[in-house]
Amino acid sequence: MGNVNKAMSESVTRNQEFMLASQREQLERQIHLQNEMREKMLALQIARSREMLYWFGAFYIIAGVGMIAGYRRSRKPGTLVPLLPLTFILGYQTDMCYGSKLARLKMEAENILGFERELVALPGGLPTPASLDEARMRQEEARRLNKDFGVASPM
């Protein structure tokens, strides 16, 4: 009888170890998948910014040529004033797409997470399974009350 209990105990222990290893592997895969999706989204945003830079660069050149031509005709310096903010915008976009702007933003984000964590904290703290269940129950109760009184549900 003792051998049977010992064998069952060892089997349960091996099964628990296997389940723990399986859960750990699944968690690692989820983390890797989320990071890969984050990288793809960031690459897409950078590509979108670069495409916008190409269009804005073409607009800047056309507008700049038009403003310079307008200045030559009218000799009014006010025709060149829009070039100043457009130059800043072009510089910012160029730095974002091809400069070190993303690296500087990443460093600042790391500083915020390291030293100013309260700026990114969720109001009311992290949700718990109990708070999620409570919200679900309230939603079901509201849906039930709407059904009882003949009010159309918004869903």
With 80 as the cut, is the pLDDT of residue 93 above it? yes
CB-neighbour burial class of residue 94 (10 A; exposed 0-12, middle 13-18, buried 19+): middle
d(CA 73, CA 9): 95
Assigned token pair, 104: 């500087």
Q: How many CA atoms lie within 13 A of 40 on its CB side?
A: 6
Look at 5-14, 64-73, 86-95, 102-111 and tell me which has the smallest mean pLDDT: 5-14
The three-state (H, E, C) secondary structure of 33-100, written as one string: HHHHHHHHHHHHHHHHHHHHHHHHHHHHHHHHHHHHHHHHHHCCHHHHCCHHHHHHHHHHHHHHHHCC
Instruction: Report the range of poorest mean pLDDT among 8-17, 28-37, 76-85.
Output: 8-17
Q: Is pLDDT of 1 > 90? A: no
Task: List, for residues 14-56, the tens digit of each pLDDT value.
Answer: 999 999 999 999 999 999 999 999 999 999 999 999 999 999 9
pTM, two decimal places: 0.66
